[in-house]
Structure 1
Amino acid sequence: MSTVIINSLKELEQYEGQELGVSEYHTITQEQINQFAAATLDFQWIHTEPEKARAESPFGATIAHGYLTVSLLPYLWTQIVQIENLKMQVNYEIESLRFNQAVTVNSEVRLRAKLLTVKDLRGIAKARIEVTMEVKDARKPAYSGVITFLYHFL
């Protein structure tokens, strides 16, 4: 995997319509799930009680919160693309995000990204990116959708 390095709005525009790449795999651990539960106050047993989940859930194990997998977007995105010469980056929008399957504890996930469009908003780049979180050895992705970042270049 090689990271795409982008230094300007003009360079970003050159990637419009192209797949930018795929991140490394990241393993979602029970510790990470528990920390996310504590941060969001979402202690639903399907996430935080391994014994009960093993016995009673249709997944046979605890699962990551859907929003935990979404919160990994910025971390995995920076493995795919490195944006330089930035004053600021803003998370702007998530559109049509669909959760396709649960992510069980100890699953390995990665992000695949394609730059759909780039608009110049008076020097600020509005980048719409198609994202898919793949689960290693799974037929369906954890989720897919479109995110939008605003890049304020120097």
Structure 2
Amino acid sequence: MRCVVALNALEELTLQQMSINHRHRDTRARAAGLLMLGRGLKPRAIAAQLGVSGQSVYNWSHAWRARGICGLMGAHNGGRHALLTEAQITVALEIARAEPLSLGGIAQRMQVALNGPLPCKVETLGEALKRNGFSFKRNRYTLKKSATKKHSP
């Protein structure tokens, strides 16, 4: 079966930019593969060069014909699943808005609200809160050096 893709100048420019600048590596590889197909390279050579199977190149060309650029971008399924659900993040946001607490205090209140242990590390909870506009400062437990020097005998 022949795997040929005909690209116009605008499509070629779009795929070229996508192969360089897209944030997902697999989408960059798909765009590069389609550019190579458009230039007349064989699917096996493209697969070897990009480190994928030959069937992947055929799948990319079929997705390009069926859905265009959306067919290339919609197939990204990489990444780890979220440890905190949206409902848990909502609970954490409500706790954080209620009163000023440290991150550890928010985590303790979440454990009480969820009736169980926190499903992630405290740092992960902090990152989720930061994405929603909260920031945390580390509490300082030691005195300043200048204060200890003045009061020493």
TM class by shorter chain equals: under 0.3
- With normalisation by structure 1, the TM-score equals 0.23
Structure showing the higher strand proportion among its residues? 1
Structure showing the higher helix proportion among its residues? 2
- Highest Rg: 1 or 2? 2
- With normalisation by structure 2, the TM-score equals 0.23
Q: Which has the higher contact order (CA 8 A, sep 6+)?
A: 1
